[in-house]
Amino acid sequence: MTTPNREIELVWHDLTPRLLEVARVVRVTPRTVRVTLTGAALDGFCYAAPDDHVKVFFPEPGAALPVMPTLGPDGLESPPPGAPKPTFRDYTVRHHRPEQRELDLDFVLHGHGPAGSWAAQATPGQVLGVLGPRGSTINPFTFDWYLFAGDETALPAVAVWLERVPAGVPVFAFLDVADAAEEQQLAITADTTLVWLHRDRGVDGGQLEQAIRGLELPPGDGYCWVAGEATSLKPIRRYLRTLGLSRDWVEVDGYWKRGVVNLDHHDDDDD
């Protein structure tokens, strides 16, 4: 029997800055807003992997257009001295409909920050800047099982992971959300165990870790993808590293950090 290809491939894309118009704004849940962006500038947009994400550039309060990035040979660069600085944050592609020239981004309304504040007032006709995705991490979908977990910021990626794993492969998904109203209807196969954890019922905040530790994983090679608040992910990352899976098969990314403005890189430290 030949061993299936379980290589995770990173594919790079051209970095094109795009100005896009808000076509629609839909409240998916009380704390999540789906913004549909559109425009001819979307032609050529590359979208390949569930966790593909873009940098979104927001207009300053009162301005119609965002300050766009300065790009150099290695990507994003600091603006020249004296030039206005762009305000940007990372967001996951929830849907891309190339024929309709539409891109959906789901924003968590967490009550602070330029991105959260912009999303709370988003209206059709407004303009945002988008840069990326810079690259896509391509999963061969040949693993014996999959584990996906995270909070609301990870939900757009987890939703796409769940849509893409082939039927017949065991999938375990844990989504840690504020309360029952934050649950979303997700497309899952009959082999998927999807568990919603509600923080309003949590006692010590470690319910995602407890749920993952409590899972009896099937034999064979598994792929784990977890994202959310950086500090709370550290014990999960440490635990998943003990499972004996190849390091490339365990992806744990801090998507934001409590008390930190714009965690401007994925926090994927090993500690």
Ligand X SMILES: Cc1cc2nc3c(=O)[nH]c(=O)nc-3n(C[C@H](O)[C@H](O)[C@H](O)COP(=O)(O)OP(=O)(O)OC[C@H]3O[C@@H](n4cnc5c(N)ncnc54)[C@H](O)[C@@H]3O)c2cc1C
Per CB under 6 A, residues contacting ligand X are 53, 89-92, 106-108, 110, 112-116, 153, 156, 255-262, 266
Q: Is the CB of 91 or the CB of 223 nearer to ligand X?
A: 91
CB of 266 to ligand X, least distance (A): 5
Cβ pair 168, 118 in contact under 8 A:
no
- Closest separation in Å from C-beta 178 to ligand X: 9
Nearer to ligand X, 51 or 209 (CB): 51
CA gap 228, 151 in Å, rounded: 5
Give 135 or 221: the residue with its C-beta nearer to ligand X: 135
CB 256, min distance to ligand X, A: 4
In angstroms, give the least distance from the CB of 231 to ligand X. 10
CB-CB contact of 65 with 43 (8 Å): no
Determine how many CB atoms are found less than 10 A away from the CB of residue 42: 18
**What are the angstrom distances between the C-alpha of 11 and each of 105, 216, 218?**
22, 33, 30
CA 43 → CA 64, 96, 100, 189, distances in Å? 23, 11, 10, 32
Question: Nearest residue to ligand X, using CB?
Answer: 113
Which residue's CB is nearer to ligand X, number 108 or number 177?
Answer: 108
Nearer of residues 150 and 170 to ligand X, judged by Cβ? 150
C-beta of 113: minimal distance to ligand X in Å?
2
Which two structure tokens, joined as six digits, stand for 220? 């064979």
Q: For tokens 């207009």, what's the residue?
A: 59
Contact assessment for residue 135 and residue 10, using Cβ atoms and an 8 Å cutoff: yes
Phi, psi of 267 (to 5 degrees): -85, 100
Residue among 166 and 202 whose Cβ is closer to ligand X:
202
Q: Tell me the C-alpha distance between 123 and 21, whole Å.
A: 10
Provide the β-strand partners of residue 135.
Answer: 12
Query: Shortest approach of ligand X to residue 134 CB, angstroms?
Result: 10
Two structure tokens written together for 165: 């794993």
